[in-house]
């Protein structure tokens, strides 16, 4: 049984070697590494080629810059392993990463293995695990898909191992038109079609917060349109694949976009150079995702009073008052 590890690479020369070295240091040899050079303008492409020359289990594919979703999709299409894993080029894996995944995959025969990870930021390491049951069968997964706002299990592809047959059978790929949040859409489909998911508490991956990554860039001029496309993609999937009671998943989706995405967009607007905040808020409020979801929204207990107030003012278009609070 072979595991294919897909690594999208873009201008990663500062940390790429360390990432690949952590993969090659594995105790188990039953894996291939597919490096997708996504049109890098630095030395990343050469670094990838050098690793390919020296290691029989490393393959390199080059493409013009199309983004991480396109790069991962190219890796999926070229993977020869029974299972597929994703690693970001600035992250690290533990020495027993492959061996542990191999054992758990063989033991459970699940379509997805979901594991814990370390988050490394500013020299500090935070351990992150999920509070899900060890084994989820399809009915458990469908319940979770109606409660996505209270758990981050749909975030990230790199803390999961996927059966390639699951992705191929249902034509599950990353949406290359969505630059932020594409992981959630990919995992939504993967979990929905999975017969079972096996959750483990082993910390096999280290997520390194890199200030130059897409998610850390201060201002993104495409973010409003990106999250509208994200919303439309997600709603289309839910409409085509009814999961449980319609009212519940509308409430769950409303909570996700209003308590998470709203503040992501708000932070982005605050980072815009030469901004006129009231105008930015008006533009945000015109997004169809907010017009559609406020009627389904019920606030959760985990958000602060200030957050609730900002949401209330935003709902009723009190932008001047909002700007005074920010």
CB 155 within 8 A of CB 183: yes
- pLDDT tens column, 101-126: 999 999 999 999 999 999 998 888 99
* 51-60: Cβ within 8 A, 24+ apart: 51/20, 51/24, 55/24, 57/29, 57/31, 57/32, 57/33, 58/20, 58/24, 58/32, 58/33, 59/32, 59/33, 59/34, 59/35, 60/34, 60/35
CB 314 within 8 A of CB 308: no
Residue 134 clears pLDDT 80, i.e. is over it? yes
What is the Cα gyration radius of the chain? 20
pLDDT (0 to 100) of residue 217:
60
- pLDDT tens column, 238-265: 888 866 677 888 899 999 999 999 999 9
- pLDDT tens column, 268-301: 999 999 889 999 999 999 999 999 999 999 998 8
Crossing angle of helices 262-270/223-240, nearest 10°? 170
pLDDT category of residue 1 using cuts at 50, 70 and 90: low
CB 22 within 8 A of CB 87: no
pLDDT (0 to 100) of residue 153:
87
Cβ neighbors of 150 (< 8 A, separation 6 or more) are 300
Looking at residue 317, what DSSP letter applies? T
Provide the residue ranges of all domains of the chain, joining segments of one domain with +: 3-212, 218-325
Looking at residue 301, what DSSP letter applies? T
pLDDT (0 to 100) of residue 292:
94
Bridge partners (DSSP) listed for residue 161: 85, 113
Q: Rounded CA gap, 52 and 50, in Å?
A: 5
pLDDT (0 to 100) of residue 211:
63
Burial of 316 (0-12, 13-18, 19+ CB in 10 A): exposed
pLDDT (0 to 100) of residue 180:
92
CB 155 within 8 A of CB 184: yes
Angstrom distances, CA of residue 220 to CA of 49, 265, 272? 32, 9, 8
Q: Which CATH class is domain 3-212?
A: alpha beta
Greater confidence, 155 or 47?
47
pTM for the structure as a whole: 0.91
DSSP alpha helix (H) spans, 58-211: 68-78, 97-108, 138-144, 164-169, 182-193
Greater confidence, 40 or 122?
40
| SS3 assignment, position 18 | helix
Q: What is the secondary structure of 202-264 as a DSSP string? A: EEEEEEE--TTSGGG-S--TTHHHHHHHHHHHHHHHHHHS--S-HHHHHHHHHHHIIIIIHHH
- Pick the range with the lowest mean pLDDT from 143-157, 213-227, 296-310: 213-227
The most confident of the ranges 72-76, 180-184, 209-213 is 72-76
């Amino acid at each position: 049984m072979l595991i294919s590890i897909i690594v999208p690479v873009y201008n990663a020369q500062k940390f790429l070697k360390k990432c690949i070295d952590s993969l090659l240091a594995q105790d188990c040899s039953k894996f291939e590494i597919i490096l997708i050079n996504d049109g890098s303008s630095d030395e990343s492409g050469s670094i990838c080629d050098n690793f390919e020359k020296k290691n029989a289990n490393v393959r390199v594919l080059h493409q013009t810059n199309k983004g991480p979703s396109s790069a991962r999709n190219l890796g999926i299409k070229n993977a020869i392993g029974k299972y597929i894993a994703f690693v970001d080029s600035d992250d690290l894996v533990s020495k027993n990463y492959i061996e542990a995944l191999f054992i758990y995959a063989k033991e459970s025969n699940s379509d997805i293995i979901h594991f814990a990870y370390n988050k490394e930021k500013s020299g500090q390491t935070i351990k992150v695990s999920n509070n899900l049951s060890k084994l989820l069968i399809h009915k458990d997964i469908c319940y979770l898909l109606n409660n996505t706002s209270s758990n981050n299990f749909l975030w990230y592809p790199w803390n999961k191992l996927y059966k390639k047959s699951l992705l191929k059978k249902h034509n599950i790929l990353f949406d290359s038109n969505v630059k932020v949040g594409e992981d959630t859409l990919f995992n939504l489909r993967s979990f929905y079609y999975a017969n079972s998911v096996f959750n483990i508490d082993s910390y096999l991956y280290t997520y390194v917060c890199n200030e130059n990554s897409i998610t850390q860039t201060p201002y993104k001029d495409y973010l409003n349109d990106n999250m509208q496309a994200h919303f439309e993609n997600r709603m289309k999937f839910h409409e085509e694949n009814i999961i449980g009671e319609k009212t519940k998943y509308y409430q769950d989706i409303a909570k996700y976009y209003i308590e998470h995405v709203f503040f992501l967009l708000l932070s982005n607007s605050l980072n815009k150079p030469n901004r006129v905040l009231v105008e930015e808020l008006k533009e945000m409020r015109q997004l169809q995702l907010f017009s559609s979801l406020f009627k389904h929204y019920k606030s959760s207990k985990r958000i602060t009073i200030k957050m609730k107030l900002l949401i209330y003012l935003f709902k009723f278009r009190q932008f001047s008052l909002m700007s005074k609070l920010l």
